[in-house]
Amino acid sequence: MTSIRDIAKITGVSPASVSRILNNDPTFHINEAARGRVIEISRKLNYNKANKKRGPKQPDSSLSVTLVMRSGNMREFNTPYFLNMHKGIDEEAKKWHLRVEQPFKLDDPDKN
């Protein structure tokens, strides 16, 4: 899969310039020959920015986020502030294919 860096190496311009050219940045000024090279190479290599999503492509069981709760589940999940925070963390983790772990709570008597 072709990246902006690949196009930059071939055309001799910076990855930032490639990005600005391919995104039609109206404030970016570069000579037309360089612009033409970038566009031509990106077409030849079938570059498609829609395929350039960040984050892991496949779920990886070794990637996780650890969520240490301040107090018990019921207290935090009954408070709208914390409930929204937990939902947001879960949604973002899902987008990035990360597991959310809750190994202990700060008020856990075994962890003091």
pLDDT digits (tens, 9 = 90+) for 53-88: 555 555 566 788 887 777 666 666 778 888 888 888
Q: Which of 4-8, 25-29, 68-72, 99-103 has the lowest mean pLDDT?
A: 68-72
Q: Return the pLDDT at 82.
A: 81
Confidence of residue 52 (pLDDT cuts 50, 70, 90): low
Q: Which of the listed CATH numbers 3.40.50, 1.10.260, 3.90.25, 1.20.1050 matches domain 4-51? A: 1.10.260
Domain ranges of the chain: 4-51, 64-111
**How buried is 38 (Cβ within 10 angstroms: 0-12 exposed, 13-18 middle, 19+ buried)?**
buried
What CA–CA distance (Å, rounded) separates 51 from 1?
9
Q: Return the pLDDT at 93.
A: 85
